[in-house]
């Protein structure tokens, strides 16, 4: 008996990692090349007095600082300590910047946006020169952006949020809060938005618990060192400085113990400058300014309660700086947004600098301009800047999607608005603080536009 043996067709090859994503692979390669130019043009990394050196010193001598910075970024620096290279810190942060763009693209493709739309939404993060500058600095901003973007991506990756994904997102937002405390209200906001969207009790509990436990543990460690259950020792000082632009003690009528914190004859051009102004009332009190954090917070709360409209007006005015076409210097002593230039600054002659150099990187130096790479970046930074009206348009488009009850839009849009307003509300405006807004504003705008213009599904309501 003969058997009919037919040749079997070879199995179809599995789609590769880049299948359908070749256009984005080109975009990502260009963005990576630009970051290589940054490293060639301004080696080894940008160092800022005194934040960079406090982060580095804390990474070597792990302890909760009594000032503005929690431990998160220093823990990241601690992981890289065996390499003794600030240049490596910058390189890793550049990779994080690329990863933020990848997450924006991947989340939008997951939501069925076309390749060109997802690439366009990721472009500001991948190509804006301001992101390059921040990634190249020994500052906490880039890991903070990476963590909150990863947290949002985890929450939005699947149509139905699981308790496991919520737990992972809660941990990411907690680590973000340990990197920059401004993430604390973000965690609360996420819980509120997801409760409004009725994602279920188990994911909400998982998110809240996983987001709270690491913060409580750190606050306990902080209390062991400083005698106060907190994440930092400067929240009151920051809020006090915010109120100095409008506080009127004839209206506030503070008690005798808080009256020395009233505004005096010292006037500066930005709220944050009151923290450092030698003649400001807080800095005339005996001891270090951080010793008076509780009194400063009590005064600030009284000032806001007595003058709520003055407070809101100042917050709105300073927030509006983000929407200017040409970057506004705030305060006037800083160089806004366009930071690439020839030359290089030396490190300040300070004991903290020398201590960080000896312990973390004996070859440490501030970034110096190397031509012709620096010449290219100096020219590139002006056209490659996300102008304020464009950011405003992105936020308005996201708002339209949220008002139209497009479910996927509300969470990234809410986070974008919170990231824009909260730093101003608790201290002041800074162009650095606007950058974390951008990936969320782009996500919200892209999702809103896609939901608004796509045709309805036959026989169904259009999903939000």
Do 208 and 124 share a domain, yes or no?
yes
Q: Is the pLDDT of residue 289 over 80?
A: yes
Q: What is the pLDDT of residue 114?
A: 92
Q: What is the DSSP string of 129-154?
A: HHHHHHHTBSSSHHHHHHHHHHHHHH
Can you state the percent helix, strand and coil of the chain, rounding each to 5? 65, 0, 35
The answer as to whether 215 is a domain residue is yes
Q: Do 68 and 174 belong to one domain?
A: yes
Q: What pLDDT, on the 0 to 100 scale, is given for residue 2?
A: 46
DSSP one-letter string for 252-298: H---TTTGGGS--S---SSTTHHHH-TTSGGGGSSS-GGGGHHHHHH
Indicate whether 118 and 188 sit together in one domain.
Answer: yes
Q: Same domain for 168 and 295?
A: no
Residue 161 pLDDT greater than 90, yes or no: yes
Tell which of 261, 285, 319 closes a domain: 319
Share of the chain above pLDDT 90, in %: 72
Task: Look at the block and give the residue holding tokens 């409004």.
Answer: 196
Residue-level pLDDT at 33 = 97
Beta carbons within 8 Å of 454's beta carbon, 6+ residues apart: 462
pLDDT value at residue 21: 81
- 180 and 296 inside one domain: no
At 9, give phi and psi (nearest 5°): -70, 140
Q: Which residues, in sequence order, are CB contacts of 351 under 8 Å at separation 6+?
A: none
The answer as to whether 118 is a domain residue is yes
* Predicted pLDDT of residue 336: 63
In a domain, 423, yes or no: no
Q: How many structural domains comprise the chain?
A: 2
Residue 443 lies in a domain: no
Mean pLDDT over residues 339-349, rounded? 79
From 419, 451, 455, select the one nearest 437 (Cα to Cα).
419
pLDDT at residue 455, as a whole number: 52
Residue 32 shares a structural domain with residue 140:
yes
Residue 340 has pLDDT above 90, yes or no: no
What is residue 330's predicted lDDT score, i.e. its pLDDT? Answer: 85
Q: Are residues 167 and 71 in the same domain?
A: yes
- Using the 3D structure, point to which of 319, 349, 365 is the last residue of a domain: 319
108 and 198 both lie in a single domain = yes
pLDDT of residue 462: 42
Q: Which of 19-23, 70-74, 261-265, 334-338 has the lowest mean pLDDT?
A: 334-338
- The domain in which residue 347 lies consists of 22-231+335-387
Residue 108 lies in a domain: yes
User: Looking at the structure, do residues 161 and 49 belong to the same domain, yes or no?
Assistant: yes
**Is residue 195 located within the same domain as residue 262?**
no
Instruction: Evaluate whether residue 354 is within a structural domain.
Output: yes
pLDDT for position 11: 56
Residue 92 falls inside a structural domain: yes
Helix, strand, or coil (residue 46): strand
Q: Looking at the predicted structure, is the pLDDT value of residue 463 above 80?
A: no
Q: Rounded mean pLDDT of the chain?
A: 89
| Whether residues 270 and 345 fall in one domain | no
Q: Is residue 406 part of a domain?
A: no
- What's the pLDDT band for 7 if we cut at 50, 70, 90? low
pLDDT, tens digit, 9 for 90 and up, residues 206-227 = 999 999 999 999 999 988 888 8
* Mean pLDDT (whole number) for 441-447: 96
The band of 20, judged by pLDDT with boundaries at 50, 70 and 90, is confident
Residues 292 and 194 in one domain: no
Q: Which of 151-165, 402-416, 445-459 has the lowest mean pLDDT?
A: 445-459
CB-CB contact of 190 with 207 (8 Å): yes
Q: Which of 286, 319, 352 is the last residue of a domain?
A: 319
Question: Which tens digit of pLDDT belongs to each residue from 362-373?
Answer: 998 888 899 999
């Amino acid at each position: 008996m003969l058997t009919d043996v037919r040749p079997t067709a070879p199995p179809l090859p599995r789609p590769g990692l880049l299948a359908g994503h070749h256009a984005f692979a080109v975009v990502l390669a260009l963005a990576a090349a630009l970051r290589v130019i940054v490293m060639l043009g301004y080696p080894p990394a940008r160092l800022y007095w005194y934040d960079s050196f406090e982060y580095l010193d804390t990474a070597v001598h792990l302890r909760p600082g009594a000032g503005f910075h929690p431990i998160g970024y220093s823990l990241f620096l601690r992981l890289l300590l065996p390499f003794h290279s600030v240049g490596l810190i910058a390189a890793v942060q550049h990779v994080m910047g690329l990863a933020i763009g990848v997450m924006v693209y991947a989340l939008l493709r997951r939501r069925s946006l076309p390749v060109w739309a997802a690439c366009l939404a990721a472009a500001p993060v991948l190509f804006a020169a301001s992101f390059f500058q921040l990634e190249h600095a020994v500052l906490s901003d880039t890991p903070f952006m990476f963590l909150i973007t990863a947290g949002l991506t985890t929450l939005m990756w699947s149509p139905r949020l699981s308790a496991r994904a919520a737990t992972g997102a809660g941990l990411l937002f907690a680590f973000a809060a340990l990197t920059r405390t401004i993430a604390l209200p973000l965690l609360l906001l996420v819980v509120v938005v997801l409760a409004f969207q009725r994602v279920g009790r188990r994911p909400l509990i998982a998110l809240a618990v996983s987001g709270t436990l690491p913060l409580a543990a750190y606050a306990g460690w902080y209390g062991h060192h400083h005698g106060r259950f907190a994440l930092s020792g400067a929240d009151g000082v920051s809020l006090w400085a915010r109120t100095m632009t409008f506080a009127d003690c004839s209206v506030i009528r503070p008690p005798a113990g808080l009256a020395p914190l009233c505004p005096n004859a010292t006037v500066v051009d930005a709220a944050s400058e009151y923290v450092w102004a030698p003649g400001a009332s807080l800095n005339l009190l005996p001891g270090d300014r951080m010793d008076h954090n509780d009194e400063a917070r009590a005064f600030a709360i009284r000032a806001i309660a007595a003058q709520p409209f003055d407070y809101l007006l100042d917050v709105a005015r300073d927030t509006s700086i983000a929407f200017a076409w040409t970057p506004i210097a705030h305060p006037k002593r800083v160089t806004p947004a366009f930071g690439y230039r020839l030359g290089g600054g030396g490190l300040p002659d300070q004991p903290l600098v020398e201590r960080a150099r000896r312990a973390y990187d004996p070859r440490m130096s501030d970034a110096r301009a190397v031509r012709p790479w620096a010449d290219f970046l100096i020219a590139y930074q002006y056209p490659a800047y996300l102008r304020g009206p464009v950011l405003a348009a992105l936020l308005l488009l996201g708002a339209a999607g949220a008002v139209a009850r497009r479910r996927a839009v509300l969470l990234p849009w809410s986070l974008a608005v919170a990231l824009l307003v909260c730093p101003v509300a608790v201290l002041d405006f800074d162009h650095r603080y606007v950058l974390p807004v951008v990936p969320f504003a782009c996500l919200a705008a892209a999702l809103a536009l896609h939901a608004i213009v796509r045709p309805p599904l036959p026989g169904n309501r259009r999903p939000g």
